[in-house]
Amino acid sequence: MNNFFRLLSYIKPYKGLAIVNAVSNILSAIFGLLGLLLISNVLKVLFDSGIKKIITPPKSTGYFDSLIYDIEVYYTALIENSDRSKALMVVCIMVLITFFLKNLFRYIAQYVLAPIRSNLVKDIRSELHRKIIDLPVSYFNEKRKGDIITRISADVQEVEFSAISILELLIRDPFTILIAIGTMVFMSWKLTIFVFIFLPISGFIVGQVGKSLKKKSGKGQEKIAELISLVEENIGGLKIIKAFNAQKKVDAVFEKENIEWTRINNSIKRRHDMASPMSEFMGATIMVIILWYGGNLIFENPEENMQPHDFFAYITIFSQVLAPIKNISAAYNKLQKGMASMERIIEVLDTPNPIQDKPNALPLPLFSENIEFNQVNFSYEKHRPVLNNVNFKVPKGQMIALVGQSGSGKSTIADLIARYWDVTEGAIKLDGHNIKDYKIKDVREQMGIITQESILFNDTVYNNIALGVKSTTEEAVMSAAKIANAHEFISELEHGYHTNIGDRGGKLSGGQRQRISIARAVLKNPPILIMDEATSALDTESERLVQEALEHLMEHRTSVVIAHRLSTIIKADLILVLNEGEIVEQGTHKELLDRKGYYSKLHNMQSIS
């Protein structure tokens, strides 16, 4: 039920349109029923030989009774003062007008529903996207990309259908049913009470179908998420799949999941398709019971109970109840499917983000002194410790290098400085203050990060370099590219700086992608630079060009460099050697070689290779 009200909250900003939709649906229902009343009452006047008894004033003084009486009097007078043909023409015109108004208001209701649907999807999708990019990096280590993509696409689409169902469930169809039932009670309260004995039974049966549908729909959305994840992984690993001739193997895995999804989807569709014919059959069953019971009432006492023409009108009006009941049944099942998707969306939206600003977080002034790790311990959730009592200080303007075997904690230190994670114990300080005391946005604003894998977007070279910079010029972008040794190859591209580089920069070589990443950092001009093995995946020529660009970039900046090739950090002011999360050695390149310890062994191994 909470998910239901959560969905309603997204409709609230468009309550004006929702009110117009509700009023239009109500008016459509009123004019639809009025058209039927006109037909049934005119037939009574036109073909009943006892016209005089029709114009007897009603016993009740209610508005509805008076309206019916006035209609009967008008048509009786019309028949008496002219021929039946003219009266019938007037009747037909009146019926046509009422049905025109019914469908006009129905169109208006649908017309204002369109922006409600579109904006609802936009709002949920935007909120979900904002949450996704706000969540910590750790969240996506445990989630598959395909699952996230499914939630922001297919699940949101299902919620859109649920929103329509809500408006139908709350306004249009219930009001239509209420008007029709009110008229039926007025015509024969005995027969209507008899009808109400069977309607709850029908509703209960359809409701059970809806409950099972919700459960199946949740499984279906999870399975399609797995399928999309497989496709995303297979596209990303296509070179390896082809290199190892693994097409049949990965296709067999996909086919297995696809068959399972098909099985679940068939079950969902069968339950969904069952609801409409089931509700229609239940309605037809009730109709037959009414015919039998109402017919017997007429046979027993036609004077006290309904006349045949009244019974005809009653059946006609009851038939108008069946369609909304059928619609409510279908809407309820759509709502159940949507609620299963809404649960998946809310699961993401309500995921707590442990990396948050403190309530009284301070703005970070321009970095001016040092970065300090003070007795820092860190471990990932449910994992062994990654860092153990790490202590070091990086004065402003100096370059510190982190070396060690894979898994020694080098990248973790870089991630902690950028606050992708928070320390388990101890503190990281900027200019003497705990990094947690500052606003995260301000901390990252003063950092430039270059990773081993160049992270580029399916956009132009210009937009990739200018990413995150509020305002810039083409001259500034070109200047940054020149410093990064990238201007020459960019100028040779088809559209220069306005060339689209494809998904993840796939149209460029590894060295070119890395130099664009460096240009991006140059343009940002941060006082603190973090480089995570920025040259380890490059060939010799690309490494030389990138290394030159990095040296230009690091001038007069505080740099934290994670090094794979020790030759790139000879000029470092301080080298920290890590092993199993601890700093086992520290010093300059020459000092560490002279000690002939762990660093010296690493250096000799690379020299031999």
Given a cut of 50, whether residue 535 has pLDDT beyond it is yes
Pairing of strands 399-404, 558-562: parallel
The predicted-structure confidence for 292-323, as pLDDT tens digits, reads as follows 777 776 676 655 556 666 677 777 777 777 67
Average pLDDT of the residues in 29-48: 70
Question: Per-residue pLDDT tens for 406-423?
Answer: 888 888 898 899 888 889
**Average pLDDT over every residue of 41-63:** 53
CB atoms within 10 A of CB 547: 17
d(CA 406, CA 604): 17
In terms of Cβ atoms closer than 10 Å to its own Cβ (0-12, 13-18, 19+), residue 46 is middle
Q: Which residue has the higher pLDDT, 541 or 389?
A: 389
Output the CA–CA distances (angstroms, integers) from residue 137 to 244, 263, 380, in the order listed: 31, 35, 12
For the stretch 431-453, pLDDT in tens is: 889 999 999 888 888 888 887 77
Query: What is the DSSP annotation of 23-54?
Result: HHHHHHHHHHHHHHHHHHHHHHHHH-S-HHHH
Q: In this predicted structure, what is the pLDDT of residue 373?
A: 92
Place of tokens 């699940």: 155
- Whole-number Cα distances in Å, 33 to 40, 90, 441: 11, 18, 61
Contact 537, 513 (CB under 8 A): no
CA 130 to chain centre: 10
Q: According to the CATH classification, is domain 188-351 in 3.10.20.30?
A: no
Strand order in the sheet with 399-404: 447-450, 528-532, 558-562, 399-404, 574-579, 582-587
pLDDT bracket for residue 100 (50, 70, 90) = very high
Distances (CA, A) of 46 to 40, 78, 87, 95, 174: 10, 10, 9, 15, 33
What's the mean pLDDT when you consider all of the chain?
Answer: 79
Three-state DSSP state, 380: coil
CA 376 to chain centre: 38
CATH 1.20.1560.10 location in the chain: 188-351
CA distance 296 to 124: 55
Residue 562: pLDDT over 90: no
Q: Is domain 370-608 classified as CATH 3.40.50.300?
A: yes
Residue 142's nearest CA partner among 377, 382, 444, 340 is: 382
Angle of the 15-47 helix axis to the 156-167 helix axis, nearest 10: 50
Write down the pLDDT at residue 211: 59
The tens digit of pLDDT for each residue in 258-304 reads 888 888 878 777 766 666 676 667 767 777 777 777 777 667 665 55
Domain span(s) for CATH 3.40.50.300 in the chain: 370-608
pLDDT, position 212: 62
Q: Is residue 62 scored above 60 in pLDDT?
A: no
Of 296, 267, 125, nearest to 194 by C-alpha is 296
Enter the tokens of residue 581: 């999360």
Q: How many residues does the chain have?
A: 609
Query: Which residue did the predictor score with more confidence, 54 or 257?
Result: 257
Take residue 26 and report the two structure tokens written for it. Answer: 């109500």
**Element housing 579 (H / E):** strand 574-579
Specify the pLDDT at position 79.
Answer: 61
